[in-house]
Amino acid sequence: MISDSASAQAARLMSEFATRTGLSPAAQDQQRYLWTDAFAVCNFFELFRRTDDQKYRRCATQLIDKVHQVLGRYRDDDRRSGWISGLDEETGRRHPTAGGLRIGKPFKERDASEPVDERLEWDRDGQYFHYLTKWMHALCQVAFVTGDTVYARWAVELGEAAFGGFVPRSASGEIVGVYWKMSTDLSRPLVPAMGLHDALDGFITFRKTQHAGKTLANVGATDLSAAIESLSVLCQRRNWTTDDPLGLGGLLFDACRLCRLPGQDRFNDVRLLEELTDACYHGLMAFLADHHLTRPALHRLAFRELGLAIGLRALPIIADAIAKDRSEFASRPTLRRTVDLLLPYESFSEKIVDFWMPHARRHDASWKAHQNINDVMLVTTLMPDTFLSVGE
């Protein structure tokens, strides 16, 4: 069990993150990165929930504004300027997610005439589908905590932009996949391959966003139903198994949300949950069999393992949801058995934290190479409640 000092450690790490990235005190040079900031928003609200200190609530909402101001607009070194949606200044401020959001990579995106450099592409800007869904999730959490419907509306508008930009159709109009990476203005794919879990992540996040929009005063006139239907088709007859720790953590996160979303029988949620937990079990066994967690820090990446640790923290929530809803899960004894097999491995979350915490305190080379993302994901592992919630 994580110690009672988790909140104190989390508060220290998030305070350092806010200062280092220019959030608080506010700095002209904002180091904004969409994935990291999505976790950070949830962390600040979890600190607010635990302490009732308004400064954490302010940090969360200020961070959202900064992300939109920075990543919702073109880079300073881009020949283009203004909101990436193409909206005018005033309309763009009211709808900052309407064109998607940049990743926040250090180098500008590859020009259309440039050849692909696979190594350099990792450091080039653009938009990632799975980063947009993380930000949609964070916005929904804030909408539920604050009751402010504008965050739910921004999440819905971001979902519309993501689906419109990332999901190509065949000549006959059939949905054929989800692009891995798009240009900043969503006009062309930068990496046309499809991520292993992007369709799944989109399917669950869009449903969670639709749930938030309807729960909070039926936000706007927008509707993600068509996108959800299309993504559900892409989730059929798929093999979700991976031994990548971050991918495994993402699968557990998706399973955690899926088993608590409002029921939709037409999507065969129970069957999909069974597929996800089975993939998690086999992927986790493969990961552990490789003895990855016994390697020295220089041969490991903290944030990828912390992604797994966050997912493992969701196992009791999944087990509890299945136990409480016997009517829905009674016909799936295999699902219950698989979750029972997975539950003892929740303790590996603590093992991962225990390994990396000394590196975080010392700020050694293996930690500092990815310090911002390492810090915020460590905090989420220490106190994951807001991040793992679906707005109950």
Q: Using the predicted structure, report yes or no on whether residue 6 has a pLDDT greater than 90.
A: no
Q: Using the predicted structure, report yes or no on whether residue 219 has a pLDDT greater than 70.
A: no
333-342 and 269-289 are packed helices; what angle lies between their axes, rounded to 10 degrees? 30
Q: Using the predicted structure, report yes or no on whether residue 326 has a pLDDT greater than 70.
A: no
pLDDT tens per residue across span 38-86: 999 999 999 999 999 999 999 999 999 999 999 999 999 999 999 999 9
Confidence band for 388, pLDDT divided at 50, 70 and 90? very high
Q: Using the predicted structure, report yes or no on whether residue 2 has a pLDDT greater than 80.
A: no
The pTM (predicted TM-score) of the whole model is 0.95
Q: Which among 172, 173, 171, 134 has a CA at the least distance from the CA of 155?
A: 134
* Domain parsing of the chain, residue ranges: 118-234
| Amino acid 1: pLDDT | 38
pLDDT mean over 341-347: 97
Q: Say which residues have a Cβ less than 8 Å from residue 383's Cβ, sequence separation at least 6.
A: 2, 6, 7, 10, 43, 46, 47, 50
Residue 262 or residue 302, greater confidence: 302
pLDDT mean over 217-245: 86
**Residue 317 amino acid letter:** I
Confidence band for 263, pLDDT divided at 50, 70 and 90? low
Average pLDDT, the chain: 92
Q: Which long-range contacts (CB under 8 A, 24 or more apart) does 296-299 make?
A: 297/355, 297/356, 297/359, 297/364, 297/366, 298/365, 298/366
Q: Using the predicted structure, report yes or no on whether residue 221 has a pLDDT greater than 60.
A: no
Query: From edge to edge, which strands make up the β-sheet containing 189-191?
Result: 127-128, 181-182, 189-191
Identify the DSSP state of 246.
Answer: H
Confidence band for 392, pLDDT divided at 50, 70 and 90? low
Q: Note whether 207 and 261 are within 8 A (CB).
A: yes
Q: Note whether 153 and 171 are within 8 A (CB).
A: no
Tokens of residue 126, six digits: 């653009």
d(CA 364, CA 188): 39
| Amino acid 125: pLDDT | 98
What secondary structure does DSSP assign to 337-377, as a single string? HHHHHHGGGGHHHHHHHHHHHHHHHHT-HHHHTTHHHHHHH
Q: Say which residues have a Cβ less than 8 Å from residue 223's Cβ, sequence separation at least 6.
A: 210
Percent of the chain with pLDDT over 90: 80
pLDDT tens per residue across span 151-200: 999 999 999 999 999 999 888 878 889 999 999 999 999 999 999 999 99
d(CA 125, CA 77): 11
Confidence band for 29, pLDDT divided at 50, 70 and 90? confident
Lowest mean pLDDT among 138-147, 221-230, 348-357: 221-230
Tokens of residue 191, six digits: 């990496």
